[in-house]
């Protein structure tokens, strides 16, 4: 059996694709384990979905090919939450509000705050507390 991997993805569903059970097919037909962090349908009926998929590289690839047939765009860098490096002052206020340590102090001497995207579960905690407006959500 080949190794399973976990990938963080952000999917954008244009208006017409919102009602299709795409995730169901990812699980059922492509053997993927899906962990949805955050989903949103805008008033314009466009949809956003931030999720982890776990499976073999091959299954993930097939799943992605399947998703693409629906005109859904896939962002494999998973940028649902962004921390603007130019705006972050490394104050450290977000640290105690980030449940996973995605935002953490990288260097105790300079106290630089680093955002490790792969650890982010998109709880939006940092967006609520960052006084400097450095954290943002793509949706």
Partner 1 sequence: MKTYEQINNRIESGKAVVLTADEIIDYVEKKGLAAAAKEVDVVTTATFGPMCSSGCVLNFGHSKPKIRMSEAWVQDVLVYTGLAAVDVYLGATQLRHNDPANMDHPGEFRYGGAHVMEDLVAGKTLQLFALSYGTDCYPLREIRTYFTINDLNQAIMLNPRNCYQNYNVAVNDSDRTIYTYMGTLEPKRKNANYCSAGQLSPLLNDPYYETIGVGTRVWLAGAHGHVYAEGTQHAGGGSRTPEGIPKGGSGTLALTADMKQMSKEFVRGTSFRGYGVSLALGVGIPIPILNEDVLKRTCISDREILAPVVDYSHDYPQNTGKVLCHVSYEQLRTGEIEVEGKKVAVGSLSSYYKALEIAHLLADEIKRGDFRLAEPIAYLPKDTKMRPLVAREKPS
Q: Which residues bind ligand SF4 (CB under 6 A)?
A: 81, 83, 88-94, 97-100, 102-103, 113, 120-126, 130, 132, 134-135
Say if CB 100 and CB 121 are below 8 A apart.
yes
**Quick check: 111 binds partner 1 (CB under 8 A)?**
yes
Which entry of partner 1, ligand SF4, none binds 112, CB below 5 to 8 A by partner kind? partner 1
Q: Which of 93, 81, 91, 85 is nearest to 117 (CA)?
A: 81
Q: How far is the CB of 108 from partner 1 (least distance, A)?
A: 7
**Quick check: 132 binds partner 1 (CB under 8 A)?**
yes
Measured from the CB atom, the residue of 43 and 131 that comes closer to partner 1 is 131
Which entry of ligand SF4, partner 1, none binds 122, CB below 5 to 8 A by partner kind? ligand SF4
Helical packing angle, 57-68 and 22-30, nearest 10°: 150
Q: Which of 68, 51, 60 is nearest to 9 (CA)?
A: 51
Say if CB 76 and CB 69 are below 8 A apart.
no
Report the SS3 class of residue 41.
strand
Site residues, partner 1 (CB under 8 A): 89-97, 105, 108, 110-113, 128-129, 131-133
């Amino acid at each position: 059996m080949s190794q399973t991997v976990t990938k963080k993805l952000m999917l954008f569903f244009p208006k017409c694709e919102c009602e299709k059970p795409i995730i169901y097919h990812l699980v059922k037909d492509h053997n993927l384990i899906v962990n949805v962090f955050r989903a949103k349908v805008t008033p314009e009926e466009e949809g956003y979905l931030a999720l982890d998929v776990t499976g073999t590289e091959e299954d993930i690839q097939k799943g992605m090919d399947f998703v693409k047939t629906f005109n859904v765009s896939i962002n494999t860098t998973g940028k649902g939450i962004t921390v603007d490096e130019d705006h972050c002052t490394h104050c450290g206020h977000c640290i105690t509000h980030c449940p996973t340590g995605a935002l953490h102090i990288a260097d105790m001497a300079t106290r630089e705050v680093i955002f490790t995207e792969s650890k982010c579960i998109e709880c939006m905690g940092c967006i609520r507390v960052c006084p400097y407006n450095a954290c943002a959500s793509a949706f």
